């Protein structure tokens, strides 16, 4: 039986066109189609959704979460930070390596209504053995192991390398050099976590190529993307020219209003927005993807750009051709949200305050043409 939805009266955001227009969106059997065509099909029992006062956007993508619940100390329920927050696709960022991926797939991916993809940790242990997974070089995955794994596993969209001193324990840049070999052999991007060195950020950025992702790019720690006169360091400029992507990756200690304000003032480089949400930062300071997006709104970014940062840009970065857009013929992952105009105080990772006058709130989440959550 044909299943159809007509979403009426909403403000539709089309990131590929950078527009917000009041129009309808039609879905038939899980695919977005032309509204006129849908009406001409005279489908019985077409469900109509009144989206008056709501914004209608492609399904939101959060490409940095940790949802290996019960197996890692960070793990949080995927649907709690996914469909219940208006996020149709989440990408677990290195919680699992190849040792425990079957459990991750069987217990997390298969049981979640939210689509869960993965950046595979270059350590075979992932975060299941603790947070210093790159301290033991003997646990690094080898090229042949990765190729064998990828021949059977299609939910992996890239590799994860956490390049902080606390993770590496003196191993320096070597794990990233190894990740580069793995990524090149498998034709996958690397998501690189940056924070406190060593190694230094210039060393890290020099190894990145087109499609690689620098998460926590806008942290406020020493040795970041901006120099002492608020210019991008040369290695950051070079990495962006090569096609690397800067990602927010808010996290507990990794997003600074001050850094983002300086970046916004002086540069117009596209970036993506993700949360790095996990069990300990779910309530504060992260909250949700929409809370993180609201912080960017409060910093002066336009709504259509903030939405593009969680739809079209991550979809393009991850090679998700059916997502990030409301174009006819694409998969019907759709996020409906409202904007609360009551003033709220929001915080960055350094506990700095910002006054938010426009706060995004989830209203309805549609996955593959089915309503999976409504507030």
Q: Helix 174-186 crosses helix 143-150 at what angle (to 10 degrees)? A: 40
Under 8 Å between Cβ of 91 and 115: no
| pLDDT reported for residue 39 | 86
**What whole-number distance in Å separates Cα of residue 242 and Cα of residue 250?**
24
Confidence of residue 2 (pLDDT cuts 50, 70, 90): confident
144-172: pLDDT as tens digits: 999 999 999 999 999 999 999 999 999 99
Cα distance between residue 274 and residue 309, in whole Å: 9
CA pair distance 151, 314, nearest whole angstrom: 24
Report the pLDDT averaged over residues 296-318: 98
| Residues contacting residue 138 through CB under 8 Å, at least 6 positions apart | none
**Residue pair 119/145 in contact by the 8 Å Cβ criterion:** no
Residue 347 has pLDDT above 80, yes or no: yes
Contact 110, 79 (CB under 8 A): no
Q: In the chain, what percentage of residues exceed pLDDT 70? A: 100
pLDDT at 1 exceeding the cut of 80: no
Predicted model pTM: 0.97
Q: What is the mean pLDDT of residues 294-299?
A: 98
- % of the chain with per-residue pLDDT over 90: 95
For the chain, domain boundaries: 4-57+328-374, 60-318
Rounded mean pLDDT, 288-300:
98
Give yes or no for a cis peptide into 198 (omega within 30° of 0): yes
Q: Is the pLDDT of residue 216 over 80?
A: yes
Mean pLDDT on 223-247 = 96
Instruction: Please enumerate in sequence order all residues whose Cβ is within 8 A of that of 158, keeping only pairs 6 or more positions apart, or say none.
Output: 119, 120, 183, 188, 189, 190, 191, 213, 318
What is the CATH architecture assignment of 4-57+328-374? Roll (2.30)
Report the top-level CATH class of 60-318. alpha beta
Closest CA to 246 of 277, 211, 220: 211
Based on the number of CB atoms within 10 Å of its own CB, is 1 exposed (0-12), middle (13-18) or buried (19 or more)?
exposed
Backbone angles phi, psi at 19, to 5 degrees: -125, 155
């Amino acid at each position: 039986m044909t299943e159809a939805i007509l979403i009426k009266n909403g403000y539709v955001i089309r990131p590929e066109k950078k527009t917000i227009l009041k129009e309808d969106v039609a879905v038939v059997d899980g695919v977005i189609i032309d509204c006129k065509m849908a009406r001409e099909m005279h489908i019985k029992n077409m469900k109509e959704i009144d989206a008056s006062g709501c914004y209608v956007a492609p399904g939101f993508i959060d490409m940095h979460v940790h949802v290996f619940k019960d197996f890692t100390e960070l793990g949080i329920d995927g649907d709690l930070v996914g469909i219940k927050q208006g996020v149709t696709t989440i990408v677990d960022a290195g919680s699992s390596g190849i040792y425990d991926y079957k459990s991750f797939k069987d217990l997390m991916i298969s049981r979640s209504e939210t689509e869960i993809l993965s950046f595979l940790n270059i350590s075979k242990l992932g975060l299941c053995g603790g947070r210093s997974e790159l301290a033991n070089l003997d646990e690094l995955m080898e090229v042949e192991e990765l190729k064998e794994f990828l021949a059977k596993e299609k939910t992996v969209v890239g590799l994860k390398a956490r390049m902080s001193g606390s993770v590496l324990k003196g191993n320096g840049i070597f794990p990233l050099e190894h990740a580069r070999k793995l990524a090149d052999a498998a034709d996958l991007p690397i998501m690189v976590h940056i924070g406190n060195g060593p190694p230094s950020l210039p060393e890290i950025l020099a190894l990145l190529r087109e499609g690689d992702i620098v998460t926590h790019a806008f942290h406020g720690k020493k040795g970041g993307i901006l120099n002492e006169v608020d210019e991008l360091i040369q290695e950051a400029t070079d990495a962006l020219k090569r096609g690397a992507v800067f990602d927010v990756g808010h996290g507990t200690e990794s997003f600074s209003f001050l850094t983002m304000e300086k970046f916004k003032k002086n540069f117009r480089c596209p970036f993506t927005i993700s949360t790095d949400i996990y069990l300990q930062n779910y309530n504060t300071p992260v909250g949700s993807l929409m809370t993180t997006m609201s912080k960017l709104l409060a910093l002066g970014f336009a709504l259509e750009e903030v939405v593009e940062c969680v739809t079209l840009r991550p979809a393009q970065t991850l090679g998700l051709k059916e997502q990030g857009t409301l174009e006819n013929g694409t998969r019907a992952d759709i996020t409906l949200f409202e904007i609360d105009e009551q003033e709220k105080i929001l915080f960055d990772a350094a506990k700095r305050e910002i006054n938010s006058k426009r706060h995004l709130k989830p209203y309805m989440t549609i996955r593959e043409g089915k309503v999976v959550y409504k507030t």
